[in-house]
Structure 1
Amino acid sequence: MKNTILLLWVLALTACGPKFNPEITVDDLKENIYYLASDSLQGRKSGEPGGLLAAEYIRQKFETAGLQLLYDSGFQPFSLVADAELGEGNSLSVGNKSFEAKTDFLPYAFSANSTVEATLVFAGYGMEVDRDSLKWNDFEGVDVAGKWMLVLQGDPDLENPNSPYLEFSTERAKALTASDKNAAGIILVAGPDFNEKDELSSLFFDKNSSRFDMPVLQVTRKVADEMLAGAGETIESLENRMKEEHRGFNLEVTTSVKATVNVQLKEKETRNVVAMLPGLDETLKDEAVVIGAHYDHLGMGGPGSDSRAVDTTAVHNGADDNASGVAAVIQLAEKLAVEKANKRSLIFVAFGAEEMGLIGSKAFVNDPPVATEKMVVMFNFDMVGRLDTTTNALSISGTKTSKETEEILNNLNTDFELAFSEEGIGPSDHASFYLQNVPVFFFSTGAHPDYHTPKDDAELINYEGEKKVLDYAVKVIAEVTNRDRKLTFQEAGSKFQRSRGGRFKVTFGIMPDYAGLEKRGMRIDAVTKGKPADKAGMQRGDIITAIEGKKVSNIYDYMSRLQTLEAGQRISVDIIRDNKETVLIVQL
């Protein structure tokens, strides 16, 4: 009732007062951000009342600006898996030995709920690849129909973050291969190279309600070794053999494995908010420029929410992430709707469920208001409210997703120290468009220690800084929207990211500078309290230049060095702080 009264008050205020100021102003940014990041919206979690109130507010803003509401009066509804939990009766036995759910085995959320008893085939990485010069076959000379497939997680090129096998290495991809080969079910296990600790990941679901028609499980190496005992092998021995020979491998095992799976998915419905400003040019109006930001956040935080304050249950207001981005889209919509100078059509979107895995933007590109082939570019605003007045640094990602992007950005820039990141894939909604061959611009003022914590509040936003960002963005949008020829798309970085799994044996507990603005090394944007970096005295703003005497110039160097380290090591880390070089000792 309280939320309903608040919404009616907001709508009444909007109706009674001036429609809106068409100019981008600090006052308007404050109005939007303070409402969206208020405690009354309870962190705008997808499918919860606060998230629905935020969507109503944004729709009203779009309608008041005179935009054409798309889909169902501006709402594009979609469902998502909000949670997954084990039901009753999950069991696993190998021969006469029984094992415990959560301790020894765990189903995937996209597993069928069924019971299967069958013999087993170890099938390497569970891959069959024949693409030009890229070849790998774990099924040569074996028939897995009607049998369990036991496969390693990962792929044959684990040390390469850009492995050519990435798209074949996900759990879903391997389950699909098993299904194509009529396997009775598939069991995944992490070899020591993939995850040194013989532990299960948490109940993994990808927020997608589609499921396979067979059971899909993960087991510990202890259980997998029991399955292989009759063949005289272990997961470690087989992983080593495949690594040495670098070829596909399989092994039939006569042991009987019986499993019963019961996973319950909890679905909720949420929505995107979508409106359009039609183009004015008869030739170009059928093409569209998409301008978007996600409006959801983490709700009350807590375990499984991605909150960095893992032990705190409190409202995560998400003022910067991403009320600042939504306020940007509202302001841009109001200004451009009044100017009416757009040759191409402009589609404004507030995405739901970004924090759940880009689900809203994926729903949008899967059921778009115009064909994705007609989308000439996507502008994404995510965390644009914390411009650092000292560095004046603005990060823009996707700068190589068109041939013209960087020239446009540089020519129109007068205020910022621009930090370009070339790749089209990234942890925000623009990635969904890049996967559809749409050039992308991802604007952000960068991460900070309040990110994904209850401290990301409206009073900490740099409103003057955000206005500067939007004044610049208006020029870039106008240039792209009204140019005679659309941008020339080109691939920039892999379109696939490695599946989950413990590729790194250690963690520093820092948030790196992903954009690479700092050229002397890799800057630290945040340090997690209690983690090794914090205990060693690292601070936000420190610049890592070397680890164990080996040079670190950027995040890629950092990740490569991290892969060589072991838990328990004491290592040296060279840093620059306040322009002075020093060395810290970190206990991993």
Structure 2
Amino acid sequence: MKNFVFAALVIFVAACGPKFDKEITLDDIRENIDYLASDSLKGRKSGEQGDLLAAQYIAGKFEAAGLELLFDNGFQEFNLVTSAEIAEGNQLQVNDTEYEVEKDFLPYAFSANTTVAAEVVFTGFGIEVNRDSLKWNDFDGADVTEKWMLVLQGDPDLDNPNSPYLEFSSERAKALKASDKGAAGIIFVAGTKFSEADELSSLFFDKNSSRFSIPVIQVTRKVANEMLRGTEQTVEKLEAEILEQKAGLNLEVPVTVSVTVNVGLKETTTRNVVAMLPGNDEKLKDEYVVVGAHFDHLGMGGPGSGSRAIDTVAVHNGADDNASGVSAVIQLAEKLAGDKSNKRCVIFVAFGAEEMGLLGSKTFTMKSPVETDKMVAMFNFDMIGRLKEDNSVSIGGTKTAEETEDLLNDLNPDFTLAFTGEGIGPSDHASFYLQNIPVIYISTGAHPDYHTPQDDVELINFEGTQKVMSYSAALLDDVVNRAEKLTFQEAGSKFQRSRGGRFKVTLGVMPDFAGAEKRGMRVDAVSKGKPAYAAGMKKGDIIIAIDGKKVGNIYEYMDRLQNLEAGATISVDILRDEKPTVLIVQL
């Protein structure tokens, strides 16, 4: 019924007045940003009501401009996991004492949902590394098979923000080590050096829906010390001894711990909004230019949302990020539809769930309404509403086509242009570059209000935004109507280096960052000339093991890479078309 009412409203508006103004006006820009960044949409979090209202508004604008709505009345729906929540039945029992979930213990969002009763081994920081001069072993002489590992959070160099142990210190890395060691589960506790307050962390969902095969929980020091009672040790003493001796330590703990974990992952539906303006040239109308921007934002903020205001729960309106970019897509759609002179087809897309890991643009390129090899260019607008006094505009992907930089300079009115050649970047254009499509990513840059509740309409530079849109219209007109399409060329790697930059080897693949594939780690792209490409790996392959060691997600994949040496020959188990295959890769 809601869709029927919405469709009827669109028809009524189209019939009873002017459809749109093809000119890029300040009033239209303000109207779009005002609505999309209004408090009533509550930050446009993916899967929530404000997200749907924003999508309906954009679809209405496309319809009113006379565009052809694709998919289901313009909506390309897809599912995603947005959060984790404590479900019924979580239990912790130490000998005969029962403890309370969220007060004494808390599962991790990536824990297996299961019940385990087992003995306990304290295993220090849960780290085992033997790399050049970096050596640490908390497992020397210990047998953790089918036992709980009780592990300190953090690492042996806690005061050093650039600790050499950082890549081994995350809860996911330690849980993978526990799984590799055959442990029944892993229990984390914070020592006083790690945290003076004996409090549990919140149930944090890290935007990756993959899970481990073992239970993973955290407990307070009070509970951990109850587990350690029979050893005459405490968490405080053990932590102090390890840091003083600067050496790993493990200890058998004469206690039985029973745990039941039940964490629910909240799945919801969101959508891309997609419409097309058909081309008018008999020769070029089978080629497509994509114009896009993401319309989702961070909702009310809070832990795990991506907000930089960590302790603030408030509406994150996202006026610049990215109501401004969506307004550009709407304005450009209206302008081209009004001019009716486009030779190539133009597909306009408002992407959902960009903030969740480019999920909307990945869905679009994987299930595109047209073949991606017919897409000749992609324009992406992300944060174009804060043109600064220096008149600077950042443009990414400028080396992804031979002609791009000349085009950008030739049509430049008077901007100070900052070029970045690479096709990979922190926005939706990356999904298109992975398909060998030239990309042009336009932004006026970040600012202190980025990903905070202060990103409001009052701070938008409307005149500057109009100027950026007018420049973009000229660029788009050229790309849509030029006789020869842009000439794609690779510009930088198709995968991003890890933040630590510590890998000694690479396969040369772009992983599925969001963990949508649950059987392993899906390969979203393969770079030519890299080891995976030489071994015959293809886009869509699912890596399930490296050298016989399980790979269930991107975290496990990265951990396996960290322990490989350049020049080695390894086996990579994959699923391809539902069939298991083994590739031999020379690193």
With normalisation by structure 1, the TM-score equals 0.64
Determine helix, strand or coil for the equivalent of 2:50: helix
Separation in 2, partners of 1:136, 1:407: 54
Whichever residue aligns with residue 460 of structure 2, its letter is I
Shift in Å at residue 5 of structure 1? 8.0
Task: Give 1:488's aligned residue.
Answer: 490
Where does the alignment leave 5 or more consecutive residues of structure 1 unmatched? 499-588
Shift in Å at residue 259 of structure 1? 1.7
Separation in 2, partners of 1:428, 1:472: 20
Percent identical: 63
Structure 2 residue 118 is the aligned partner of structure 1 residue 115: no
The 1:15–1:39 alpha-carbon spacing in structure 2 relative to 1, beyond 3 Å, is farther
Structure 2 residue 28 is the aligned partner of structure 1 residue 28: yes
The 1:324–1:261 alpha-carbon spacing in structure 2 relative to 1, beyond 3 Å, is same
The 1:256–1:319 alpha-carbon spacing in structure 2 relative to 1, beyond 3 Å, is same
Separation in 1, partners of 2:287, 2:162: 36
The 1:284–1:33 alpha-carbon spacing in structure 2 relative to 1, beyond 3 Å, is same
Render the CA deviation track for 1:361-390: whole Å, top value 9, x for unaligned: 4544565556778877654322212223x2
Whichever residue aligns with residue 26 of structure 1, its letter is L
Whichever residue aligns with residue 147 of structure 1, its letter is K
Shift in Å at residue 204 of structure 1? 0.8
Task: Give 2:460's aligned residue.
Answer: 461
Whichever residue aligns with residue 489 of structure 2, its letter is L
CA contact (8 A) 2:401 2:488 kept: no
Task: Give 2:239's aligned residue.
Answer: 236
Separation in 2, partners of 1:127, 1:287: 54
Matches within 5 A, 1:129-168: 144-150=144-150
Shift in Å at residue 59 of structure 1? 1.9
Shift in Å at residue 107 of structure 1? 1.0
Whichever residue aligns with residue 318 of structure 2, its letter is G
Task: Give 1:569's aligned residue.
Answer: none
CA contact (8 A) 2:127 2:136 kept: yes
Shift in Å at residue 203 of structure 1? 0.9
Separation in 2, partners of 1:126, 1:437: 42
Render the CA deviation track for 1:286-305: whole Å, top value 9, x for unaligned: 88654322223455667876
The 1:114–1:61 alpha-carbon spacing in structure 2 relative to 1, beyond 3 Å, is same
CA contact (8 A) 2:288 2:346 kept: yes
Structure 2 residue 415 is the aligned partner of structure 1 residue 416: yes
Shift in Å at residue 347 of structure 1? 4.0
Separation in 1, partners of 2:454, 2:26: 21
Render the CA deviation track for 1:305-331: whole Å, top value 9, x for unaligned: 648496675x65433332211111122
Render the CA deviation track for 1:168-194: whole Å, top value 9, x for unaligned: 876556545655665422334567787
The 1:117–1:32 alpha-carbon spacing in structure 2 relative to 1, beyond 3 Å, is same
Separation in 2, partners of 1:59, 1:460: 26
Separation in 2, partners of 1:349, 1:480: 17
Whichever residue aligns with residue 32 of structure 2, its letter is N
Whichever residue aligns with residue 352 of structure 1, its letter is G
CA contact (8 A) 1:400 1:491 kept: no
Separation in 2, partners of 1:258, 1:160: 36
Determine helix, strand or coil for the equivalent of 2:273: strand
Render the CA deviation track for 1:203-254: whole Å, top value 9, x for unaligned: 1113555544432223456655665674969563587499x67xx9977655
Separation in 2, partners of 1:259, 1:157: 31
Determine helix, strand or coil for the equivalent of 1:54: helix
Task: Give 1:91's aligned residue.
Answer: 91
The 1:413–1:28 alpha-carbon spacing in structure 2 relative to 1, beyond 3 Å, is same
CA contact (8 A) 2:145 2:183 kept: yes
Determine helix, strand or coil for the equivalent of 2:272: strand
Determine helix, strand or coil for the equivalent of 2:325: helix
Task: Give 1:326's aligned residue.
Answer: 326
CA contact (8 A) 2:44 2:296 kept: yes
Whichever residue aligns with residue 44 of structure 1, its letter is R
Render the CA deviation track for 1:27-66: whole Å, top value 9, x for unaligned: 3323322333345545434333332122122123334445
Task: Give 1:381's aligned residue.
Answer: 381
Shift in Å at residue 101 of structure 1? 3.2
Separation in 1, partners of 2:401, 2:189: 40
Whichever residue aligns with residue 467 of structure 1, its letter is Q
CA contact (8 A) 1:288 1:376 kept: yes
Separation in 2, partners of 1:127, 1:375: 48
Separation in 2, partners of 1:143, 1:286: 64
Render the CA deviation track for 1:416-459: whole Å, top value 9, x for unaligned: 23355678776654566678887765433345566556665545
CA contact (8 A) 2:325 2:384 kept: yes
The 1:488–1:57 alpha-carbon spacing in structure 2 relative to 1, beyond 3 Å, is same
Task: Give 1:275's aligned residue.
Answer: 275
The 1:143–1:320 alpha-carbon spacing in structure 2 relative to 1, beyond 3 Å, is same
Render the CA deviation track for 1:261-293: whole Å, top value 9, x for unaligned: 233444332222123456789999888654322
The 1:136–1:60 alpha-carbon spacing in structure 2 relative to 1, beyond 3 Å, is farther
Task: Give 1:443's aligned residue.
Answer: 442
Whichever residue aligns with residue 393 of structure 1, its letter is S
CA contact (8 A) 2:40 2:50 kept: yes
Whichever residue aligns with residue 463 of structure 1, its letter is F
Separation in 2, partners of 1:403, 1:191: 56
Shift in Å at residue 81 of structure 1? 3.8
Separation in 1, partners of 2:6, 2:407: 43
Matches within 5 A, 1:357-436: 358-364=358-364, 367-369=367-369, 379-388=379-388, 390-396=389-395, 409=408, 412-419=411-418, 428-430=427-429
Separation in 2, partners of 1:21, 1:148: 66
Determine helix, strand or coil for the equivalent of 2:146: coil
Separation in 2, partners of 1:231, 1:489: 60
Structure 2 residue 344 is the aligned partner of structure 1 residue 353: no
Task: Give 2:575's aligned residue.
Answer: none
Where does the alignment leave 5 or more consecutive residues of structure 2 unmatched? 501-587
Q: C-alpha root-mean-square deviation of aligned residues, in Å? A: 5.2
Shift in Å at residue 484 of structure 1? 4.2
Determine helix, strand or coil for the equivalent of 1:76: strand
The 1:302–1:254 alpha-carbon spacing in structure 2 relative to 1, beyond 3 Å, is closer
Separation in 2, partners of 1:173, 1:283: 54
Separation in 2, partners of 1:175, 1:309: 26
Task: Give 2:47's aligned residue.
Answer: 47
The 1:255–1:163 alpha-carbon spacing in structure 2 relative to 1, beyond 3 Å, is same
Separation in 1, partners of 2:22, 2:139: 63
CA contact (8 A) 2:377 2:486 kept: no
Separation in 2, partners of 1:207, 1:456: 22
Render the CA deviation track for 1:123-161: whole Å, top value 9, x for unaligned: 677688999999999878876553334456678999687
Render the CA deviation track for 1:340-364: whole Å, top value 9, x for unaligned: 6566x65432122344555434544
Separation in 2, partners of 1:103, 1:51: 34
The 1:69–1:237 alpha-carbon spacing in structure 2 relative to 1, beyond 3 Å, is farther
Determine helix, strand or coil for the equivalent of 2:35: helix
CA contact (8 A) 2:438 2:486 kept: no
Separation in 2, partners of 1:25, 1:353: 28
